[in-house]
Structure 1
Amino acid sequence: MGQQAIETFRSCIPLFQALSDPYRQDIILLLAEKQPLSVNEITENLTLSRPAISHHLKILRDQQLVSIDQKGTQRYYSLQLEDALDLIKELVKTVEETC
């Protein structure tokens, strides 16, 4: 396996870690169904506390999987998957070409 494949795999680690948590998966699926949503609206649909939802949203935000739209005092979260999908596509392409 070439250096490019190794680097591509390594660059995907934070994304895979963010996606590996079942609660974050639930948030992503909920936002895919009904976006944009506030933290309170997400909390109403899941079994986690508001602070736990905020924690998971921060991780998703750090990996650029969700975006925030501020309206007054409310923050609304939406999916932002383009960069993550591009990275995964690059990984698949690299693996197909080098493995």
Structure 2
Amino acid sequence: MKNTPDDNDFAVSTFRNCIPIFSALGDAKRQDIILLLAEHEPLNVNQIAEHIELSRPAISHHLKILRDVGLVSVDRKGTENNYSLELGDALVTIKQLVETVEKACL
């Protein structure tokens, strides 16, 4: 079955929607943070710093990138921010990409 131009446009759009997620996941330290949160969530920056050899400002920077793409959420309690994984929307987007590629390319 041949793809229509609309199918191709949708596939390109789906790929483009995944760029920020893949970019965020492309950094080893952000991968470490995700894996750490998967085991110990929720954690604050100090708790993350106990496990990952980065400065607190560097960890905060990585957490902001992960938050911006929807991979991490923050819950503020007083003056403390606790971070947790928030994979729902990102996983939906990646699954949509996989389905689109399977449909368009297989």
Alignment of 1:1-99 (within 5 A): 2-99=8-105
Runs of 4+ in 1 over 2 A off after TM superposition: none
After TM superposition, the score normalised by the length of structure 2 is: 0.91
Structure with larger Rg? 2
* Counterpart-to-counterpart distance in 2, 1:61 and 1:47: 20
Once the two structures are TM-superposed, the CA of residue 3 in structure 1 deviates from its matched residue by 1.1
Please list every run of 5 or more consecutive structure 1 residues that lacks an aligned counterpart in the other structure. none
| Two-structure CA RMSD over aligned residues (Å) | 0.8
Distance 2:22 2:81 in 1: 25
Structure 2 segments unaligned to the other structure (5+ residues): none
Deviations 1:19-58, CA, capped at 9 Å, x for gaps: 0000000000000000000000001111000000000000
Name the TM-score, length of structure 1 as normaliser: 0.97
Amino acid at match of 2:45: V
Distance in 2 (CA, whole Å) between partners of 1:70 and 1:10 is: 32
Give the percent of matched residue pairs that are identical in Structure 1 and Structure 2.
65
